[in-house]
Amino acid sequence: MKLKNKTDVIIIGLGAMGSASSLFLAEKGINVIGFDTYRPPHKFGSSHGHTRVIREAYHEGTSYVPIVQRAYKLWSDLNKKSKNQLLLEYGGLILGNNGDHIEKANASAAKYKIPITKFSKNEIIEKFSILNPPDDFLGLYEHRSGAVFPDKSLEFILSEATKLGSVHNYDENIINWKKIDNYYQVTTSKGQYFSEKLIFSSGAWIKNLLPKLNLPIKIERQVLFWFDPKKNREKFEYKFMPNTGWDLDNGLEFYTQPNIENYGFKVAMHHNGNFIKSENLNRQSNIEDLTTIRNFLEEFIPDANGELLNSTVGVYTDTPDLDFIIDFYLNDENIIICSPCSGHGFKFTPAIGEICSNLVVDKSSKFDLSEFSVNRFIE
């Protein structure tokens, strides 16, 4: 059967994981057509913004560590090729007591011999005087933590993939898809396309594209803020201030990033956002969002609680256990599901792109992906 618009692999969703998959497939000589409803980097999903945290002593689970270590290497390679900074290492500090973040980060550090330093409350204040942790809090300092840059990274990765032959179709909606003989037919708002393999990396939209799986995912509204500190502004620069992650006794989590490239001091709550529908995301922050963040700052980082410079609204696409999905679709090794990432995925971008390219070509990965199996949600 002679088909028009035929390619080796179709990628649905060109956010972080889709764009990286396109690049690594192109490097292997695989023909790719990728689709995105918008024009990345855009503000309608999770793969956008100035910075994201990258860290190695992973409290979400030791199985993530080998993958994030590979991501560090690949980010470094991309950083050397790009004219823009894509990776910046300056340190990160986890603070907590009754929660399990420090304990689990310690476990990851011990298993993989990751350099860390443990601080008492007094040592935290001595080293980072602008922080005000509770008396019973401890700190775990990770030396390689830092930032990656989503907008710059996506622009570079997509550009590099295009140079190697990938085709990226933006502003094109996926209507449906089905298997015809040995090919997959993907119908979009602009035409029909055919491929031997598919990658679904569509984040918040993946549930509607894979209705047979009835994935139990939820879309969580998340708000990010940037402040001009009211005192000791110089101490909030990344050369003097690490990322911080706060595991509070009330069950809430907050994280911060220092001032990088004069964007201001970044603060956000991690999870505990409202669950919404992908088409009904409120793109504006509100007084309730801001009050939650200002109350956190006033108690734990009071000097930061100055003028609000900016805010933006994004989404997490959450699984019930907050782990990724990276797997084949219903035992079909020609279809790969690479999403969702539950709010902690961007740091893994190049490593997951490489993993997807290997699943396409070799139908296997050198990493243990069993924890990310879609079968854990199928009865």
Q: Is residue 119 part of a domain?
A: yes
Mean of pLDDT over the chain: 95
Peptide bond into 216 cis (omega under 30): no
User: Are 158 and 300 within one domain?
Assistant: no
Task: Write out the two tokens for 287.
Answer: 């007084």
Say yes or no to pLDDT of 76 above 60. Answer: yes
Q: Can you tell me which residue has the tokens 């300092």? A: 141
List the one residue out of 275, 257, 278 whose CA is nearest residue 346: 257
**Tell me: the pLDDT tens digits for 314-354?**
899 999 999 999 999 998 999 999 988 999 999 999 999 99
Task: Give the pairing of strands 92-96 and 138-142.
Answer: antiparallel
pLDDT interval class at 281 (50, 70, 90): low
Alpha-carbon distance of 353 to 41, in angstroms, equals 16
Write the CATH number for 200. Answer: 3.50.50.60
Q: Is residue 14 part of a domain?
A: yes
- pLDDT at residue 44, as a whole number: 82
Helix (H) / strand (E) element for 176: namely strand 174-180
Task: Give the pairing of strands 32-35 and 6-12.
Answer: parallel
- pLDDT at residue 353, as a whole number: 98
- pTM of the prediction? 0.96
- Determine the structural domain holding residue 328 and report its residue range: 6-47+151-217+322-377
How deeply is 256 buried, as exposed, middle or buried, from its count of CB atoms within 10 A (0-12, 13-18, 19+)? buried
Q: Is residue 58 part of a domain?
A: no
Mean local confidence (pLDDT), 299-315: 96
Mean local confidence (pLDDT), 23-42: 96
- pLDDT at residue 275, as a whole number: 87
* pLDDT-above-70 percentage for the chain: 98
Mean local confidence (pLDDT), 127-152: 97
For the chain, the residue count is 379
Count of domains in the chain? 2
pLDDT interval class at 1 (50, 70, 90): low
